[in-house]
A and B are shown apart, each in its own frame.
Chain A
Amino acid sequence: MTIALPTRGRSSRRKKTGPAVRIGTWLVWLVVAADIGLLLWTFASSLRGSNAVLNHPFGLPTSPKIGNYAKALSDGGFGRAALNSIFVALASAALVVVVAAPCAYVLARRRTRTTSALTMMFVLGLGVPGQVLVIPLFVGLSKVNLTDSLYGLILVYVGLALPFTVYLLTGFFAGVPAVLEEAAVLDGAGPVQTFVKVIVPVARGGLITAFVFQVINGWNETLFAIVLLHSQDKITLPVAMVNFLATEQYSGQDWGVMFAGVCILLAPMLALFSWIGSRIIQGMTVGIGK
């Protein structure tokens, strides 16, 4: 805010000098309007009949068809898939934070050749594309009967999220002053106690950020879900969407139901973003910008 104020004070003078900036501002608002428009249009279309959507794409729902959602949830299998998605996203996020936090903490605290090598190893993991891991993990999980299982998928998501979570949390823990721990240790607290009672509360913001990131990733992840899941009662939402599109190829597209499906996929992210949007942006920008 302190930065924005002086800028605004001079903005009138600046506008005179920069027509490019003024055109740019208009373009920004145009794109913003297009984004919001697209969102609203998707929602409006999800409440309309298939023919109405196809013939008059810009019409408004005259009599809202909630039935599209009922149909998507039951016939399209989105209901069960949404529950699976919620379970996978939350469980993998909680697990990865629990596993990564202690590791990131000791990596941030101890600076030796071993720890910097380990930190580097996690950072390099950030650069490994999913396509390298998908076949080996599929083969490995089928050996232990964890394909077509939500637990197998959760395990995979925890693994995939580890490098980023460790990297992000190492940054957060490095910012926690060591004085706090010293006091705890002098008071006779054990290592686990120090970590849980002193460090975790202080670094809570970082832990929540890491958790939220993995919820978002787990909700949207598609490649591994498609490869690993196939039973109707095990699939997550993106897989249900792909299956729905494939079956509609044969039986003719029901656009209203498809838009309802898209809205089901979108809505939790929109809710999350309206709730803690600035925190998400801040977490991503600070976590990555470092």
Chain B
Amino acid sequence: MNALITESTRLRKVVGDSPRRGKRSQSPLERQHRRTFWPFAAPALILYTVLFLVPIGFAAYTSFYKWDGLSPMKDRGLNNYRILWRDPVFHTALTNTLEILIVGGVVTFALALALTMVLREMRHRLFARSVLFFPTLVNAMVFGILAGFLFSPSGPVNEVLHWLGVRTPPQWLSTDNLLPMVMGTLIWTATGFYTAIIMAGVDQIPQYLYEAAELDGCNAWQRFRNVTLPMAWDVISVCAVLWTVSTVNIFQLILVFGGTSAGGLPPSNSWNTAVYVYGEAFPQQGAPELGLATAAALVTLLLVAIVTVLLRRVLRRERIEY
């Protein structure tokens, strides 16, 4: 039987019926790849299944129950989602997440593009880039803590403002101002990272395009608009997706921003969905609401999915070859 099959494959190969299968059995390297595929991939796939896929499934399952983690789960159907729909705290958290994503994103990318343009033509650009990039490697809570000190009512920033003649400085760390402050800090620290990535894309653009543009009489803005932007578009669209995922994950920056109130959590005006999930699942007092928390997390996952698909739609265009 076996011999017959190999016979027939070989025959077909000679006839030229199935060149693909014939080629596969030909190269020893191909054969080795086929044999080693599952043993090589298995550890990562198993870990990924246990630590990623199963938890996502479990989160989806839990979101239909009322559960405090100890007593038995009680079926709640879609009620967790209904509760979220009506919960003003969750509304704030979701709005804040979106605001950070969109407003923060637009500002960060505008700044990163401007910086790319400036850095391209500047001396010691690599040094400047390194310094601007460094905050990416620092735990975001450091900036939350430093901002809490710098902007405290009698802190250094107000002192400088006082010295400059500002008698009534803004209430930097009042609950209403926390989110803009968080966003400002985020933009400050994230711009360097995206600048570095976009710059790497811009460096790939061949110099002759700029020379041609210049010969055509383009000024700096036109060169940017007609050469840099279209050529670096792919990198920018990847960065936009990256931004979406990473802003949704912001947690410790908000948690510690401005010195947390006693008890651990900041005022709910500045919460994003990550802090909401944490607050519902591990509350300082009262019973944990694991079902509600996972429902909130899944809403966030849906948000990421929608935004990513939209971004890819909007930013997609023909690939430029050069």
Q: Are B219 and A18 in contact, CB atoms less than 8 angstroms apart?
A: yes
1/0 per residue B38-65: CB within 8 Å of A?
0011011101101110111011001000
Give the contact-size bracket for chain B.
35 or more
Q: Are B274 and A186 in contact, CB atoms less than 8 angstroms apart?
A: no
- Measured between beta carbons, the chain B residues less than 8 angstroms from A226 are 278
A-B contact count (CB 8 A): 282
The answer to the question of B26 belonging to the interface, with a C-beta cut-off of 8 Å to chain A, is no
Q: Are B139 and A136 in contact, CB atoms less than 8 angstroms apart?
A: no
The answer to the question of A31 belonging to the interface, with a C-beta cut-off of 8 Å to chain B, is yes
Compute how far the CA of A196 lies from the CA of B116 in the bound complex, rounded to whole angstroms: 40
Q: Are A289 and B238 in contact, CB atoms less than 8 angstroms apart?
A: yes
- Measured between beta carbons, the chain B residues less than 8 angstroms from A166 are 44
Compute how far the CA of A98 lies from the CA of B130 in the bound complex, rounded to whole angstroms: 30
- Measured between beta carbons, the chain A residues less than 8 angstroms from B180 are none
Contact partner of B290 among A135, A137, A182, A277, CB < 8 A? Answer: A135
The answer to the question of B117 belonging to the interface, with a C-beta cut-off of 8 Å to chain A, is yes
The answer to the question of A38 belonging to the interface, with a C-beta cut-off of 8 Å to chain B, is yes
Q: Are A162 and B274 in contact, CB atoms less than 8 angstroms apart?
A: no
- Measured between beta carbons, the chain A residues less than 8 angstroms from B40 are 102-103, 105-106, 191, 195
- Measured between beta carbons, the chain B residues less than 8 angstroms from A262 are 142, 145-146
Compute how far the CA of A27 lies from the CA of B191 in the bound complex, rounded to whole angstroms: 13
Q: Are A132 and B32 in contact, CB atoms less than 8 angstroms apart?
A: no
- Measured between beta carbons, the chain A residues less than 8 angstroms from B278 are 131, 134, 223, 226-227
What is the interface of chain A mostly: helix, strand, loop, or mixed?
A: helix
User: Considering only CB atoms, which chain A residue lies closest to B203 in the complex?
Assistant: A3
The answer to the question of A133 belonging to the interface, with a C-beta cut-off of 8 Å to chain B, is yes
From A28, A36, A265, residue with most partner B Cβ within 10 Å: A28
The answer to the question of A269 belonging to the interface, with a C-beta cut-off of 8 Å to chain B, is yes
Q: Are B197 and A32 in contact, CB atoms less than 8 angstroms apart?
A: no
User: Considering only CB atoms, which chain B residue lies closest to A33 in the complex?
Assistant: B131
The answer to the question of B37 belonging to the interface, with a C-beta cut-off of 8 Å to chain A, is yes
Contact partner of B262 among A4, A14, A163, A246, CB < 8 A? Answer: A246
What is the interface of chain B mostly: helix, strand, loop, or mixed?
A: helix
Q: Are A35 and B131 in contact, CB atoms less than 8 angstroms apart?
A: yes
- Measured between beta carbons, the chain A residues less than 8 angstroms from B239 are 288
1/0 per residue A110-143: CB within 8 Å of B?
1000010010011001111111111111111000
Q: Are B114 and A24 in contact, CB atoms less than 8 angstroms apart?
A: yes
- Measured between beta carbons, the chain A residues less than 8 angstroms from B259 are 245, 249, 253
Q: A6-B207, A159-B50 are in contact. Are A285 and B197 (CB under 8 A)?
A: yes
- Measured between beta carbons, the chain A residues less than 8 angstroms from B122 are 25, 28
Q: Are A133 and B55 in contact, CB atoms less than 8 angstroms apart?
A: yes
1/0 per residue B113-137: CB within 8 Å of A?
0110111111101111111111101
The answer to the question of A40 belonging to the interface, with a C-beta cut-off of 8 Å to chain B, is no
Beta-carbon contacts under 8 Å, A60-88 to B: none
- Measured between beta carbons, the chain B residues less than 8 angstroms from A266 are 138, 142
- Measured between beta carbons, the chain B residues less than 8 angstroms from A17 are 219-220
- Measured between beta carbons, the chain B residues less than 8 angstroms from A135 are 59, 62, 277, 281, 290, 293-294, 297
10 A-B pairs with CB atoms under 8 Å apart are A17-B220, A21-B117, A106-B33, A129-B297, A130-B274, A132-B300, A135-B294, A139-B69, A158-B51, A220-B137
